[in-house]
Amino acid sequence: MNANLLLDNVFGIELPSGDRRSLSLPALLAALGRGDVESFTGAQRHQADAFHIFLCYLAGAVLDQAGENNPIQDEAFWLDGIRRLTGRDDDAAWTLVVDDPTRPAFMQPPLPTAGAFSSYQPKAATPDELDVLQTAKNHDLKGARLIEATPETWSLALISMQTMSGFLGKGNYGICRMNGGFASRPCVASHTSLQPSRRWQEDVIRLMGRLSDLLHPPWVFHRNGYRLLWLMPWDGTAGLGLDTLHPFFIEICRLVRLIPANQNIRALGKPANAARITVSRETAGNVGDPWIPLRRTDQAALTASTRGFHPELLRDLIITQESYQPAAMQTLRADDAPAWLHASVLVRGQGTTDGYHEIRIYIAPKAKQLLLGGGEPRNRLGRLSDWALTRARDVRGRALRPALFTLVEGGPEGWPDTGRREAGQWVDSWLAHYDRNWAHGYFPWLWQAIDQTDDAARAHWLGELQQLAQQVLEDALRGAPQRTGRRYRGKVRASGLFHSAFRKHFKEEMINAAG
């Protein structure tokens, strides 16, 4: 069960041919450089971007140490570079289980003395129980559900937990790359391809391009600063300042050690008295991470709400950039190829997980050129995008929502009581279908609008919204709970209210738009 990640074939990949194999960490970096990684077969969805960023920072640290910028290197280069980066005469720091607690293990800091290990208590019996801790209560993921643990699942759980966790009660401090302990660490970037190899190559190149800026004020990083934060002894009583770190530092945030247990592994841990990295509250997660957009008002790291990457936020990140300064990794390449915006986040609350959100937005070549060009064409797109968001909300609130209440209430006289809680829960579930459907079509419509007049684009969008809302209403007519004996009246009045409301609020605009 124990593994040396530098020598043992731990990480599963799928090749472009469809074949599968397992690779050591240096071999994986070489395969990414060759373009051989079509997918990571062992990573769960919420772990994929944590692993991606880990691999980018690791590669960047090795390349900087070697005076290189090209991520396309062979396995021997990566093996030698990681060992030199580690600065030890053994591979303990890349081994999952190390018996001596005063030596580092993978993502597990050593203790100042062996005796201090007696205070460690059982923490996790399975990798997913160790993972980003609050997922055990999440509706997306259930804790301790793995039947067979492997070196790969333990490695990925350690990376996810140590590089993505927020505050979870006394002694469980979070990472510095988020805006507060109850925030979340997003990953936002644009790529020419969503293939893991291409994503990694492009991000490592951009990461190396950022290095010089991060080594000068206002940043306080040092080229000889700490890179792998699980190498240094830590007893949880003091933290490190940003001025002691290299810009590509790979952080840890929890005191944890893996130990052997009946031919398996289990994790022990203890609370810390201080965060591993000490930053002021005013830093607000802005520590140079190029995957994190920054709020323009105060330069704080983006914290996603329970809505995740909703259309209003995506519009700001991609088009208007009024509220958020885009992440450095969002830089679009000035060529004729299309692009993809990739964004993910595990939204956190106070001791809860409010869902894993991931979205990929295709940016057509003509849209990319418009965004790069700026000026009035981009401003026009911003105005159209804002109008479209407003109309989507209007159709929801003025036509679909009251029609759904009318249906559930059995066709009451006059306007339905939209404040009833029980009925509102059913209505909200149907409205969620509408929200997902129009959000899915929002950016494709917007890219088409580039070649249309404003009137034609608006008529098209209103027509789409009407069709989507009507489909939701028709589905609800067949499946929503309704009052016994008033089903027919409820259906008739719901349909009538929807169509009359649409005519009242939107029909004239559709006619005017169509000319």
Q: How many C-beta atoms lie closer than 10 Å to residue 448's C-beta?
A: 16
Q: Look at residue 263 in the predicted model and tell me its pLDDT.
A: 83
Q: CB within 8 A of 138, min separation 6: which ones? A: 352, 353, 355, 356
| 67 to 64, 80, 211, 329: CA distances (angstroms) | 5, 14, 12, 22
**How confident is the model at residue 100, as a pLDDT?**
96
Q: List C-alpha distances in Å: 70 to 8, 33, 49, 215.
A: 25, 9, 21, 20
How many Å separate Cα 129 from the centre of its chain?
20
Distance of alpha carbon 62 from the chain centroid: 25
Q: Which amino acid is at 423?
A: A
Q: Write down the pLDDT at residue 195.
A: 96
Helix spans in 145-232 (H): 151-164, 196-214
Tell whether 245 and 383 lie within a shared domain.
no
The whole-number pLDDT of residue 494 equals 86
28, containing H or E segment: helix 25-34
Q: Which of 281, 296, 321 is the C-terminal boundary of a domain?
A: 281
pTM of the model: 0.93
Which are the contacts of 314, defined by CB distance < 8 A and separation ≥ 6?
Answer: 341, 343, 359, 361, 443
pLDDT at 482: 58
88: its two tokens: 């030890």
Helix axes 25-34, 45-66, angle to 10 degrees: 90
Residue 483's pLDDT is what? Answer: 57
The answer to whether position 131 is within a domain reads: yes
End-to-end CA distance of the chain: 70
| Total domain count, the chain | 2
Domain finish residue from 266, 281, 296: 281
3-state secondary structure of 241: strand
Phi-psi region of 242 (alpha: psi -120 to 50; beta: other; left: phi over 0): alpha
The residue range of the domain holding 42 is: 11-179+193-281
Q: Is residue 287 part of a domain?
A: no
The answer to whether residues 510 and 388 belong to one domain is yes
Residue 95 DSSP label: B
From first to last of its 515 residues, the chain has per-residue pLDDT tens of: 789 999 999 999 999 999 999 999 999 999 999 999 999 999 999 999 999 999 999 999 999 999 999 999 999 999 999 999 999 999 999 999 999 999 999 999 999 999 999 999 999 999 989 987 444 344 444 444 454 799 999 999 999 999 999 887 788 899 999 998 788 999 999 999 999 999 999 999 999 999 999 999 999 999 999 999 999 999 999 899 999 999 999 999 999 999 999 888 999 999 999 999 999 989 999 999 999 999 999 999 999 999 999 999 999 999 999 999 999 999 998 888 889 999 999 997 665 667 899 999 999 999 999 999 989 999 999 999 999 999 999 999 999 999 998 888 777 776 777 777 777 888 999 999 999 999 999 999 999 999 999 999 999 999 999 999 999 999 988 876 655 556 667 788 888 889 898 888 887 776 665 55
Residue 476 lies in a domain: yes
> Would 299 be classed as within a structural domain?
no
Q: Are residues 268 and 379 part of one domain?
A: no
> Residue 14 and residue 52: Cα distance in Å, rounded?
15
**Residue 125 domain-assigned (yes or no):** yes
Q: Are residues 222 and 100 in the same domain?
A: yes
Q: Would you state the pLDDT for residue 169?
A: 76
Element (H, E) at 259: strand 255-261
Q: Tell which of 281, 306, 341 closes a domain.
A: 281
Verify that 269 and 143 share a domain, yes or no: yes
DSSP annotation of 448:
H
CA distance 196 to 470: 39
Rounded to 5°, angle at Cα 52 from 84 and 13: 95
Please count the helices (runs of H) and the strands (runs of E) in the chain: 14, 15
Would you say residue 312 lies in a domain? Answer: no
Domain assignment present for residue 184? The answer is no
Same domain, 270 and 385: no
CA–CA dist 23, 10 (Å, integer): 6
- Residue 304: inside a domain: no
DSSP state of 171: T
